[in-house]
Amino acid sequence: MSVQVVSAAAAAKVPEVELKDLSPSEAEPQLGLSTAAVSAMAPPAGGGDPEAPAPAAERPPALGPGSGPAAALSPAAGKVPQASAMKRSDPHHQHQRHRDGGEALVSPDGTVTEAPRTVKKQIQFADQKQEFNKRPTKIGRRSLSRSISQSSTDSYSSAASYTDSSDDETSPRDKQQKNSKGNSDFCVKNIKQAEFGRREIEIAEQEMPALMALRKRAQGEKPLAGAKIVGCTHITAQTAVLMETLGALGAQCRWAACNIYSTLNEVAAALAESGFPVFAWKGESEDDFWWCIDRCVNVEGWQPNMILDDGGDLTHWIYKKYPNMFKKIKGIVEESVTGVHRLYQLSKAGKLCVPAMNVNDSVTKQKFDNLYCCRESILDGLKRTTDMMFGGKQVVVCGYGEVGKGCCAALKAMGSIVYVTEIDPICALQACMDGFRLVKLNEVIRQVDIVITCTGNKNVVTREHLDRMKNSCIVCNMGHSNTEIDVASLRTPELTWERVRSQVDHVIWPDGKRIVLLAEGRLLNLSCSTVPTFVLSITATTQALALIELYNAPEGRYKQDVYLLPKKMDEYVASLHLPTFDAHLTELTDEQAKYLGLNKNGPFKPNYYRY
Ligand code: NAD
């Protein structure tokens, strides 16, 4: 595998620019939903201008035999639909409720313009000038972390760190480290952990078939040649597979962590050992966090031309500190709800100066990450923290969206008695039809053994609910932020907190009643369990394709707006994961394709299709 690396010459020197929060403005932005084709990934063999008529002979299906090298990374490119954006005022557009609270506008021709979701969590940035040389004490580091964005602080320990030595208190910033080739352009906890990290990466590769397939297909074809990607994501074995795939596709990468707790030190070491400039370690302070991001972008002789962000912090940093860099940047790929929301804000304010791809709302993310990931990981998170048995237990799940559906399905399969609360009659009806009792939380709060929130909302479980829970009731959250359970209301003098295990607190009432609070109300699965690599593979592949698409898109295909991944690429991501199951996809006959009005190579559904 060829991994291109880049060396940083100079240490970061950060200009003193004050960072300010961006407040959401009143008017909702308009988001153009691109259905532009992805033919740029497979030029000249029938690709070329996306607005041009489809080639006479369609390219073979992506997974079909005989795809030439040019088509190696391409979904089957058919006729290229034009990207479109529509105004909300257009009376011909129907409004669809967006799952996250916004709306999708559906035009008569089926094109969809997505409006942004309502604000759930505003990114908060350090509002002081950064003084990188003043580093906080160990205790100070924790408290500082509060002003980092939520996504930066949600604990995400998708795999245990096998090699961490708690004895080593030296900040990585104070260590002089070199990899075996003498390269020192990185900052990780301990480069000597590289071998363990490499093993983790190799294990992850087994469950990330699509990225491995992209690497194979890219032999000789480098769709990211010349790409200089700066990334800010969780640094886990799965991210490492993504980064090494981007390297194999021709990109140079520099990477920081989007979360101060989530870095797997051994994986970061393995990446540094193989030449990736990685700046991340588990337990960064806030000051470290921004320093690491800065080391990725403030490099002599190297400027990024693509951004891969998770949470929006990196994008924000470049906007605030190095706005001129955007002259060379071809696009932003953003994964998280929070970061995407921020992009919408920039777009609305007319400040988005490059095209951005919203990976968070692509079907392959929403349906797989939210539903299947939670279906698999809810039990794991509960089991690891409490050793509980699920059979016969009474559970109430608040919210029957994708995450709620996944949690309910898993618990039902284990023999739990599951109640659901909902505010939306459609989701409520779904819960009823799926065989769950729809209740108000008050009705069952005294009797349930477990309360799980997955609404994305705030104060769903209040102090009043907590007061009424029975002894040993387990309370946890699967939603994005720690707002769903009113944990703050439990920090009162009459209640005693006992930390009984990592991420497990007993909160004890004066009469001896205790509830079991998991992960202090933060995301249970990301804090206390592993999440399935295969699901992360789907998201990572979507990110890789979004980068390829934006990097190769001809001038003008994408404007300074936020786009959803073209449907065809969503389908391609899914198709790359099918061989794992020895799945055999049925092909449309010519007659059937004509009957349905579809291209035989897809896209197979209109953009408003809900799956
Ligand atoms: P969703 O919008 O599909 O579902 C949320 C549901 O909660 C909606 O049906 C809504 O009507 C309902 N709801 C809102 N307020 C409520 C209330 N007060 N009481 C009862 N129901 C209420 O969203 P989703 O995709 O299911 O995601 C839910 C949350 O989980 C989000 O915060 C999301 O970011 C997060 N998430 C977590 C993971 C994970 O791995 N834990 C993965 C993906 C998403």
- The mean per-residue pLDDT over the stretch 86-94 comes to 32
The DSSP element (H or E) to which 206 belongs, if any, is: helix 194-206
What is the C-alpha to C-alpha distance for residues 57 and 50, in angstroms, rounded to an integer? 15
Whether 11 shows a pLDDT value over 90: the answer reads: no
Three-state DSSP state, 147? helix
Which region among 75-79, 182-186, 362-366 has the lowest average model confidence (pLDDT)? 75-79
Reported as a single tens digit per residue, the pLDDT across 162-187 is 445 455 788 999 999 999 999 999 99
**Which residue's CA is the closest to the ligand 1 atom numbered 43?**
370
How close is the Cα of 403 to the center of ligand 1, in Å?
A: 6
Q: Say which amino acid occupies 434.
A: D
590-598, Cβ contacts within 8 angstroms, sequence gap of 24 or more: none
Pocket of ligand 1 (CB under 6 A): 99-100, 337, 369-370, 373-374, 398-404, 421-424, 427, 454-457, 460, 478-480, 523, 525-526
Task: Name the pLDDT band for 219 (thresholds 50, 70, 90).
Answer: confident
Please list, in sequence order, all residues whose beta carbon lies within 8 angstroms of the beta carbon of residue 388, skipping any fewer than 6 positions away. 382, 450, 474
Helices (H), 422-462: 425-433, 441-444
**Which residue's CA is the closest to the ligand 1 atom numbered 12?**
399
Provide the CA 443 distance to its chain's centre, in angstroms. 35
Identify the bridge partners of residue 437 per DSSP, sorted by sequence position.
419
- The mean per-residue pLDDT over the stretch 86-99 comes to 32
Residues 240 and 272 sit within 8 Å (Cβ to Cβ): no
Reported as a single tens digit per residue, the pLDDT across 102-114 is 333 333 333 333 3
Residue 149 is predicted with a pLDDT of 62
Nearest atom within ligand 1 for CA of residue 373: 40
- The mean per-residue pLDDT over the stretch 138-163 comes to 46
Whether 534 shows a pLDDT value over 50: the answer reads: yes
How close is the Cα of 100 to the center of ligand 1, in Å?
A: 8
Burial of residue 126 (CB within 10 Å: 0-12, 13-18, 19+) is middle
- The mean per-residue pLDDT over the stretch 582-610 comes to 96
Mutate to test the pocket of ligand 1, among 158, 338, 403, 422 (most ligand atoms within 8 A of CB): 403
**Which residue's CA is the closest to the ligand 1 atom numbered 4?**
401
How close is the Cα of 390 to the center of ligand 1, in Å?
A: 22
Residues 124 and 149 sit within 8 Å (Cβ to Cβ): yes
pTM, to two decimals = 0.75
How close is the Cα of 551 to the center of ligand 1, in Å?
A: 33
Please list, in sequence order, all residues whose beta carbon lies within 8 angstroms of the beta carbon of residue 603, skipping any fewer than 6 positions away. 35, 566, 567, 568, 571
What is the DSSP secondary-structure string of 476-525? Answer: EE-SSSTTSB-GGGG-STTSEEEEEETTEEEEE-TTS-EEEEEGGGSBHH
pLDDT higher at 220 or 577: 577
Select the highest-mean-pLDDT range: 67-71, 121-125, 171-175, 522-526.
171-175
Reported as a single tens digit per residue, the pLDDT across 42-54 is 332 333 333 332 3
Residues 476 and 468 sit within 8 Å (Cβ to Cβ): no
How close is the Cα of 24 to the center of ligand 1, in Å?
A: 21
- The mean per-residue pLDDT over the stretch 384-390 comes to 97
Which region among 142-146, 187-191, 230-234, 330-334 has the lowest average model confidence (pLDDT)? 142-146
Residue 167 is predicted with a pLDDT of 56
pLDDT higher at 447 or 2: 447
How close is the Cα of 453 to the center of ligand 1, in Å?
A: 8
Cα dist. 330→281, 303, 377, 436, 585 in Å?
A: 29, 12, 36, 48, 35
Whole-number average pLDDT of the chain: 80
Residues 295 and 256 sit within 8 Å (Cβ to Cβ): yes
Which region among 152-156, 370-374, 504-508 has the lowest average model confidence (pLDDT)? 152-156
**Which residue's CA is the closest to the ligand 1 atom numbered 9?**
401
Identify the bridge partners of residue 229 per DSSP, sorted by sequence position.
253, 306
pLDDT higher at 122 or 557: 557
Whether 210 shows a pLDDT value over 90: the answer reads: yes
Q: Percent of the chain, pLDDT > 90?
A: 67
How close is the Cα of 291 to the center of ligand 1, in Å?
A: 33
**Which residue's CA is the closest to the ligand 1 atom numbered 29?**
479
How close is the Cα of 511 to the center of ligand 1, in Å?
A: 34
What is the C-alpha to C-alpha distance for residues 58 and 41, in angstroms, rounded to an integer? 15
Half-sphere exposure of 281 (CA within 13 A, CB side): 26
**Which residue's CA is the closest to the ligand 1 atom numbered 44?**
370
What is the C-alpha to C-alpha distance for residues 103 and 53, in angstroms, rounded to an integer? 32
